[in-house]
Structure 1
Amino acid sequence: MDTTGNLVIGEGAKVIADIKANNVSISGAVKGNVNANRVEILETGRVWGDLTINSLLLNEGAYLRGQTTMHGDIEPPLIEAPKSPSGTKPAPTSPPTIVDVEPTKKR
């Protein structure tokens, strides 16, 4: 199923097909992959398939079984350890201290 417009799958509807649309609202059952700008799965909506989307809204009670991929090639930010100012060394750390602790007796 391919449309440049919006697609509404009503409650009680059953669709077995891959879907490509601008916006998709699902209250019924879909078995197939969905490629859309925005997908909304309402509380009675059920989807078995992969989503490729920009925006996803899942209402409480909605069911989705599949993978979700966002459009675009956005890379996660690099996480690096903080660098010390040039010419300085990090402060030395002392080894941990072992302390014996005796359990307290109940009265």
Structure 2
Amino acid sequence: MSRYQQLANERSSRQQGQQMYYPQPPSVGYHLYLYREQLARKNVEYMRLSKAKYFITETLLAKTVRNLKACSLDELKTVNNQIVFKHKLKHQIYRLRKLQNLGIRNANPQMESTEL
């Protein structure tokens, strides 16, 4: 066997032995950690705080919706409130992005709107 064939065989066997690494998305626990870390800071980054809150809400809501087969009316009301809260967070993130595009960095999402 020629040297070229040996190198080609080694290369193909290495490539077959390697597995593609696909990083997993961060867990809910990690996002809770980020959320608590942002709350503890003196200068809160509202965009990160809102994104962490949104991810936590979305993940927990997805887990809750999967288990809705035998739930009570109160649980359905709670799920509905969580969905409304998730939509408010999404709107808040959208608003913060618009403010960042206007040049206002780290705007407080609780401040009053300037829309007429």
Instruction: Return the structure number with greater strand share.
Output: 1
- Could you say whether these structures have the same fold, taking a TM-score greater than 0.5 normalized by the shorter chain as the test? no
Instruction: Return the structure number with greater helix share.
Output: 2
TM-score by length of 1: 0.22
**Quick check: which has more Rg, 1 or 2?**
1
TM-score by length of 2: 0.20
